[in-house]
Amino acid sequence: MATKETIQILIEGLYSGNKRSLSKLISFVELGDKHSEKIYSSVKDRLGKAMVIGLTGPPGAGKSTLSSSLVSTYRKKSKSIGVLAFDPNSPFTGGAVLGDRVRMQEHYLDSDVFIRSFSNRGASGGLAPVAYDAINLLDAFGFDVILVETVGVGQTELDVINVVDIVLGVVVPEGGDSVQSMKAGLMEIADVFVVNKSDRPGADRMVANIKSTMTLLQNEDVKILKTQANKAIGIDHLAEVVYKIYMDRNFTGLLDSIRQKRRVAAMLDWVRVDLNNKIDLISSQNVDGAAISEIYDKVCIGDLNPRTGANLILGAMLK
């Protein structure tokens, strides 16, 4: 655990452009370090300059390749860029998808690029607050663009997308299944759809599918673009479209209100994580308080209605 003094030194390092300091501070927020408040109040006045792009979609859509290609495009424009990659979790795949990160290796040597991978932290979720804090640190460091990459399969991942300025939804032409599984949430929140691997058959049909869905959702403003990230085709155009949306939102004030929502989303996700952790403690019978333990046992053997048990537990927990 860091002392306040360590944090102060790291923040000074951050301000002087030291990436090691940045890395260490991210590790602290990732651990839910109690110095979060200190970090926030130190960086608060430097926030709001970076354009924060979220990039999500089903596994296999080529998100990492697209990220890598976008990084190249922004570097061509002399923009510095930070990438935060939230990988899918599974107790047994661990970081299998980390292999994709290899494609980004060309960028690791570039001093105006910063890449950080995160692994999920299990069912208790909590990616959104970590993403939020990490974005702030990159923003305070001075990156022009921040790219947050996540797999859009579960609620936890969608929560991460709540903390960005602009959402890119990435799909592939043949992704019938993908679109179905996206429907649960992504369809409603993407600002730009990217049909990647668009040299494959079905790309135009996929564009048409998304278009008709957006009409149904009365969401006609959503842009739909085709890319081939592995050949850098369509990426410059994508970056232009994203920038235009960002500037429009900045001009109309929408950006401010998005960022207000982002802060609240991070806060509420944190509340949710903490409450879920409390439930997990009950679940593992790792709870002090004879009252809850007794309710647990009665429900366990079938003596007490689970719903009644839930009400009793809530009564014991809440003010």
Cα distances from 195 to residues 2, 57, 168, 220, 267, in angstroms, run 44, 10, 10, 17, 33
Spell out, one character per residue from 231 to 270, where the chain touches its own copies: x when CB under 8 A holds, - when not.
----------------------------xx--xx-xxx-x
Residue 2 touching its own copies (CB under 8 A): no
- Residue 196 DSSP one-character state: -
Residue 275 touching its own copies (CB under 8 A): yes
In this chain, which of 49, 76, 77, 183 binds its own copies, going by CB under 8 A? 183
Q: Which two tokens stand for residue 254?
A: 């929408």
Residue 213 touching its own copies (CB under 8 A): yes
Q: Which of residues 295-314 bind its own copies (CB under 8 A)?
A: 296, 299-302, 305-310, 313-314
Residue 119 touching its own copies (CB under 8 A): no
Question: Of the candidates 34, 27, 29, 32, which has an alpha carbon nearest to the alpha carbon of residue 4?
Answer: 34
Q: Which two tokens stand for residue 176?
A: 């019938």
In this chain, which of 60, 102, 293, 294 binds its own copies, going by CB under 8 A? 60
DSSP 66-105: HHHHHHHHHHHTT--EEEEEE----TTTTTTTHHHHGGGH
Cα distances from 79 to residues 72, 91, 142, 231, 238, in angstroms, run 10, 37, 10, 21, 15
Q: Total residues at the site for its own copies (CB under 8 A)?
A: 69
Q: Which of residues 20-59 bind its own copies (CB under 8 A)?
A: 32, 36-37, 40-41, 44, 47, 58-59
Residue 188 touching its own copies (CB under 8 A): yes
Residue 102 touching its own copies (CB under 8 A): no
Q: Which two tokens stand for residue 112?
A: 């105006």
Residue 199 touching its own copies (CB under 8 A): no
For residues 126 and 77, what is the distance between their CA atoms, to the nearest angstrom?
Answer: 34
Please say which residue, 46 or 116, places its beta carbon nearer to its own copies. Answer: 46
Question: Of the candidates 112, 113, 96, which has an alpha carbon nearest to the alpha carbon of residue 104?
Answer: 113
In this chain, which of 21, 72, 73, 89 binds its own copies, going by CB under 8 A? 89
Residue 154 touching its own copies (CB under 8 A): yes
166-171 and 81-86 as β-strands: parallel, antiparallel, unpaired? unpaired
In this chain, which of 105, 176, 240, 244 binds its own copies, going by CB under 8 A? 176
In this chain, which of 31, 208, 247, 271 binds its own copies, going by CB under 8 A? 271
Residue 276 touching its own copies (CB under 8 A): yes
Residue 192's SS3 state is: strand
121, 270 contact by CB (below 8 A): no
Neighbours of 6 (CB within 10 A): 14
For residues 274 and 29, what is the distance between their CA atoms, to the nearest angstrom?
Answer: 15
Strand order in the sheet with 166-171: 113-118, 81-86, 145-151, 51-57, 166-171, 192-195, 223-226
194, 239 contact by CB (below 8 A): no
Task: Give me the least distance between CB of 25 and its own copies, in Å please.
Answer: 14
Task: Give me the least distance between CB of 230 and its own copies, in Å please.
Answer: 18
Residue 66 touching its own copies (CB under 8 A): no
Residue 153 touching its own copies (CB under 8 A): yes
Task: Give me the least distance between CB of 160 and its own copies, in Å please.
Answer: 14
Q: Contact residues for its own copies (CB under 8 A)?
A: 32, 36-37, 40-41, 44, 47, 58-60, 88-93, 123, 129, 132-133, 153-155, 175-178, 180-181, 183-184, 187-188, 213, 216-217, 259-260, 263-264, 266-268, 270-272, 274-276, 279, 282-283, 296, 299-302, 305-310, 313-314, 316-319
